[in-house]
Amino acid sequence: MNKIPVILDGDPGHDDAIAWVLANASPLLDIRACTSVCGNQTIEKTSYNSMRVMALIGLNVPFAMGRKKPLLREPIIAPNVHGETGLDGPALPEPAIKPEPIDGVELMAKVLKESAEPVTLVPTGPLTNIGALLLLYPELKPKIARISLMGGGIYFGNWTPAAEFNILVDPEAANIVFRSGVPITMSGLDVTEEALVFPEDFERIRALNNPVATVVAEWLDFFYKFHRGKGYDGAPVHDALAVTALVKPEILTMKDYYVQVETAGDFTTGMTIADHFGVLRQQPNATVVLGIDRQAFVDLLVEAAAYYGKVAG
């Protein structure tokens, strides 16, 4: 079985961290590198969190800090969701590796150049690094097999009525990505708001009683506090969908659309606009994930958390 070579790019973040737990546990993925991006918190905090998550799960691959801010805008951070550290909750190990002496975009380019086969990019934060990669290294597009991203929403937003957080933080980068011609799988709010992990599911994970599962359960505890205050019945583990689309696509419902990103609207900046009726007569540029078998998704997360008990054993 040929594994899918991937680069993980994120701004951990509780749901990014769980996405990386899932990716590292999958026998289908070959993680070549990890990079951080400014999003849920400052780049310094998301980089530190990235390396602590890598230490927790035993992921020993090159890591580099990504761009310090969006391409054209000032950063937007989300301490109200993820806490002042960007990953509040359980104690985590200190980083076991040192960052590469190059930035995240250069590391991505290096991995792409050195790979004998195209590599899939899995960004679960703002698309700053991916946009910069496409601008600086256009010749490497053929080495990108796919971009499986968490971001956007073709029916609604969450940070504004129209825009999802990851796209809103750097809409110019997102616009570059969606116009790139590289195959895209978009896991946006349309599906991630359905990817709810309920408190009883937290307990299934906690009951596995291995160090990673315990931390995942405690991440979910913290993440749910914010969402419970907004009336949610569980924690929507948004970013894990970008990984799920690669390792368990059969539990998802998808549809191809032509998607554009608004960069200048008074009320709609950051909106991902799908051409539902083909009025623009453009070929689809994104496979949009629209639905999920929630129970199968939870089972996948439980299975991933259980993996770390087997590794420890």
Q: Could you tell me how many residues make up the chain? A: 313
* Rounded to 5°, angle at Cα 33 from 32 and 35: 155
Reported confidence tier of residue 111, pLDDT bands at 50, 70, 90:
very high
Q: What's the rounded Cα separation, in Å, for the pair 112 and 106?
A: 10
> Tokens in use for 67?
């761009």
Q: What is the mean pLDDT of residues 50-76?
A: 97
Q: What's the rounded Cα separation, in Å, for the pair 166 and 168?
A: 6
Is 225's pLDDT higher than 60?
Answer: yes
CATH 3.90.245.10 for domain 4-312: yes
pLDDT at 139: 98
116-139 burial by CB neighbour count: b if 16+ within 10 A, else e?
Answer: eebbbbbbbbbbbbbbbbbeebee
Average pLDDT, the chain: 96
Q: Report, as residue numbers or ranges, the catalytic residues.
A: 238
Reported confidence tier of residue 10, pLDDT bands at 50, 70, 90:
very high
The answer to whether 20 and 8 have CB atoms below 8 angstroms apart is yes
Q: Looking at per-residue confidence, does 1 or 308 come out higher?
A: 308
Is 313's pLDDT higher than 60?
Answer: no
Is 125's pLDDT higher than 80?
Answer: yes
DSSP states of 213-275: HHHHHHHHHHHHHHHHTTT-SSEE-TTHHHHHHHH-GGGEEEEEE-EEE-SS-TTTTT-EEE-
Q: What's the rounded Cα separation, in Å, for the pair 177 and 161?
A: 22
133's CB contacts (< 8 A; 6+ apart) are: 105, 108, 109, 140
Question: pLDDT tens digits, residue range 86-110?
Answer: 999 999 999 999 999 999 999 999 9
pLDDT at 312: 63
pLDDT at 80: 80
Q: What is the mean pLDDT of residues 200-208?
A: 97
Question: What residues does each domain of the chain span?
Answer: 4-312
The answer to whether 64 and 107 have CB atoms below 8 angstroms apart is yes
What are phi and psi for residue 286, nearest 5 degrees?
-150, 140
Is 130's pLDDT higher than 70?
Answer: yes
pLDDT at 83: 83
User: Percentage of the chain surpassing pLDDT 70?
Assistant: 99
Is 46's pLDDT higher than 70?
Answer: yes
pLDDT at 78: 84
Is 77's pLDDT higher than 80?
Answer: yes
Half-sphere exposure (Cβ direction) of 132: Cα atoms closer than 13 Å: 22
pLDDT at 193: 96
pLDDT at 144: 98
Is 205's pLDDT higher than 80?
Answer: yes
- pTM of the predicted model as reported, rounded to 2 decimal places: 0.97
Question: pLDDT tens digits, residue range 251-268?
Answer: 999 999 999 999 999 999
Q: What's the rounded Cα separation, in Å, for the pair 296 and 302?
A: 10
